[in-house]
């Protein structure tokens, strides 16, 4: 299997990338941010805007975008709450309405920022594969109306198949606001913006130890007033005490060869939306700017005990099931080859939205746990973390997502056993069975398991 830098379509086709130097020796800074993904890079950019004179440093163990930020599907949603219905369950209606507004403003700001990132503001299609999914589409329209969000629209079978041609579709839901982009181009755009403001980035610099006021790396150390942990699914490697609040999971994706003219005619997809189907373990898919199909699965894997490293970057089992599900969706496309395949780590929480906090005399600040919905949310998280680090006021700091912590996960070995039990139960629901007692109990407690 190829290393992820070559097997991930975005990383392998990255252009004009010049690696930053690695840290050597001792450096003093005002703020040091650990992790060069979206969270860390946005935080650095916003910190520098809040305090132009501050010395802000980002430290990345590999290359910027090496984690989930460079490996995701690039389907960006206009919401920052996983789903508006879930936000009402967890935070109440007024807060859900507030989150919805923040999400919409965020995506508009991001669109203005992300020129040259292949950003297409297409909206999203949620696909119904069975009648219960259609009920869910109607429910989502009602929820959107309750929160005063316009533009949600249920599509019948003909309308849905006119958009994207699959015999499996029985209808769908158009969700406005979101779109698709090239995630690694967004990473590079943020790096270039923050660098032009004077943020210092060190790549190939693994942080080995965090203390109050100091991080220690392989070949040097940085003293800083505040440290921001922006390491998402990798966070427990440095702060194991946070494992209660999240679980690291792996998602897998394939990317095809560019479609031929005949294949494009056969599939339609003229509006190029990002798609997800409405099963618990769903497929998500989109077209790339050169008309390849990115085909992913949310059937996320937990590798006990909380393993996150390069050995999880590929799963033959997932690649096989992805190829099979693709054939079922699009039998009329003939043999489509998928030369790219990879996995990446996400951090999931029981409420499927991120959490934030402070440790070590409030000098170490963290924010993580976006599940598979981080492209938009990490930008808001960057603002939150920048304000927390700089001790500056912001409306965002009063969000329940920031003030309240998610319900904890059990530790190992119960964690692994619970994940297996919940996964099997959810697979049965996707196969048509009713939710069992375990799922009903989790549902009553508002606990989710999904990417
Ligand atoms: C396969 C997949 C598909 C996804 N699809 C979507 C999607 O379509 N839409 C969506 O909105 N979201 C999606 N997501 C989720 C989204 O990509 C993430 O939520 C988001 O990128 C998280 O960004 P981050 O910066 O917090 O974490 P990351 O991007 O993981 O960044 C953390 C960084 O920290 C670095 N690091 C770790 N340990 C250390 C250390 N000790 N020292 C220094 N650096 C360290 C890592 O190398 C990494 O670069 C997907 C994720 C995956 C994996």
Mean pLDDT of 157-175: 98
**229 and 361 fall within a common domain:** yes
* Domain annotation covers residue 450: no
Q: What pLDDT, on the 0 to 100 scale, is given for residue 32?
A: 98
Distance (Å, rounded) from C-alpha 69 to C-alpha 10? Answer: 10
- 21/163 same-domain check: no
Tell whether 234 and 264 lie within a shared domain: no
| Residue 280 pLDDT | 82
Give per-residue pLDDT as tens, 192-245. Answer: 999 999 999 999 999 999 999 999 999 999 999 999 999 999 999 999 999 999
356 in the same domain as 240: yes
**How many domains does the structure of the chain reveal?**
3
pLDDT at 397 over 90: yes
pLDDT at 446: 67
Report which protein residue has its CA nearest ligand 1's atom 35. Answer: 35
Asked if omega into 286 is within 30° of 0 (cis), the reply is: no
Choose one of 306, 327, 344: the last residue of a domain. Answer: 344
Pair 42, 15 in one domain? yes
Residues 288 and 302 in one domain: yes
The answer, yes or no, to whether residue 451 has pLDDT greater than 60, is no
Assess if residue 237 is contained within a domain.
yes
Q: Which of 34, 40, 72 to mutate to test the pocket of ligand 1 (most atoms within 8 A of CB)?
A: 72
Query: What integer pLDDT is reported at residue 358 of this predicted model?
Result: 98
**The pLDDT value given to residue 179:** 97
Does 210 fall in a domain? yes
Let me know whether 158 and 63 are in one domain: no
- The CA–CA distances, whole Å, from 382 to 18, 108, 264 equal 24, 16, 38
Residue pair 356/401 in contact (Cβ under 8 Å)? The answer is: yes
Residues with CB under 6 A from ligand 1: 34-40, 59-62, 66-69, 71-77, 206-207, 230-234, 237-238, 251, 253, 296, 344-346, 370, 372-376, 378
Dihedral of the CA atoms 195, 190, 9, 260 (nearest 10)?
-120
What's the pLDDT at 354?
97
If one residue of 41, 42, 45, 67 were mutated to test the ligand 1 pocket, choosing by the most ligand atoms within 8 A of its CB, it would be 67
Q: Which domain holds residue 145?
A: 121-177+255-344
Which of left, alpha, beta for 41 (phi over 0: left; psi -120 to 50: alpha)? Answer: alpha
The protein residue whose alpha carbon is closest to atom 21 in ligand 1 is: 69
Same domain (yes/no): 263, 339: yes
Looking up residue 37, the CATH number of its domain turns out to be: 3.50.50.60
Residue 39 token pair: 């969270």
**Does the pLDDT at position 380 exceed 60?**
yes
Residue 95 domain flag: no
What percent of the chain is predicted at pLDDT more than 70? 98
pLDDT reading at 450 higher than 70: no
Burial 54-70 (b: 16+ CB within 10 A, else e): bbbbbbbbbbbbbbbbb
Asked whether residue 103 is assigned to any structural domain, the reply reads no
Q: How far apart are CA 74 and CA 295, in angstroms?
A: 11
Closest atom of ligand 1 to 205 CA is 43
Assess whether 163 and 304 both reside in one domain: yes
Q: Are residues 331 and 278 in the same domain?
A: yes
C-beta separation of 445 from 407 below 8 A: yes
Shared-domain flag, residues 187 and 301:
no
Instruction: Tell me, yes or no, whether 130 lies in a domain.
Output: yes
Tell me, what's the pLDDT at 369? 97
- How high is the pLDDT of residue 426? 80
This prediction's pTM: 0.96
Whether 202 and 318 map to the same domain: the answer is no
């Amino acid at each position: 299997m190829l290393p992820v830098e070559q097997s991930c379509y975005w990383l392998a086709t990255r252009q004009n990338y010049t690696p930053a130097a690695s840290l050597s020796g001792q450096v003093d800074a005002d703020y040091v941010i650990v992790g060069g993904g979206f969270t860390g890079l946005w935080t650095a950019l916003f910190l520098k805007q809040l305090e132009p004179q501050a010395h802000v440093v980002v430290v990345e163990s590999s290359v910027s975008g090496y984690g989930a930020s460079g490996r995701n599907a690039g389907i960006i949603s206009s919401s920052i709450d996983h789903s508006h219905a879930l936000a009402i369950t967890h935070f109440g209606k007024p807060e859900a309405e507030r989150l919805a507004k923040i999400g919409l403003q965020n995506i508009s700001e991001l669109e203005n920022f992300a020129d040259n990132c292949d950003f297409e503001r297409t909206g999203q299609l949620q696909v119904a594969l069975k009648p219960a999914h259609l009920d869910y589409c109607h429910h989502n329209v009602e929820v959107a109306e309750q929160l005063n969000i316009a533009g949600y629209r249920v599509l019948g079978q003909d309308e849905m198949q006119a958009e994207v041609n699959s015999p499996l579709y029985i209808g769908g839901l158009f969700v406005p606001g979101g779109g698709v982009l090239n995630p690694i181009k967004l990473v590079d755009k943020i790096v270039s913006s923050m660098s032009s403001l004077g943020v210092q980035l060190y790549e190939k610099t693994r942080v080995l130890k965090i203390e109050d006021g100091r991080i220690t790396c392989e070949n040097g150390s940085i003293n800083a007033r505040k440290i921001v942990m922006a390491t998402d699914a990798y966070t427990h490697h440095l702060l194991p005490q946070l494992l209660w609040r999240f679980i690291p999971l792996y998602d897998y994706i394939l990317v095809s060869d560019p479609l031929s003219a005949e294949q494009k005619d056969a599939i339609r997809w003229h509006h190029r939306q990002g798609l997800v189907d409405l099963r618990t373990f769903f497929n998500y898919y989109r077209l790339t700017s050169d008309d390849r199909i990115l085909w992913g699965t949310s059937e996320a894997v937990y590798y006990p005990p909380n393993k996150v490293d390069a050995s999880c970057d590929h799963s033959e089992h997932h690649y096989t099931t992805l190829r099979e599900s693709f054939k079922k969706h699009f039998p009329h496309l003939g043999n489509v080859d998928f030369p790219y395949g990879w996995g990446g780590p996400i951090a999931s929480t029981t409420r499927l939205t991120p959490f934030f906090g402070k440790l070590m005399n409030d000098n170490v600040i963290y924010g993580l746990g976006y599940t598979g919905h981080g492209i938009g949310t990490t930008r808001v998280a960057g603002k939150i973390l920048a304000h927390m680090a700089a001790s500056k006021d912001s409306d965002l700091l009063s969000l329940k997502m920031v003030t309240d912590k998610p319900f904890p996960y059990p530790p190992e070995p119960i964690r692994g056993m619970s994940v297996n039990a919940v996964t099997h139960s959810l697979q049965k629901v996707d196969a048509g069975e009713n939710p069992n007692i375990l799922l009903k109990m989790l549902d009553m407690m508002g606990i989710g398991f999904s990417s």
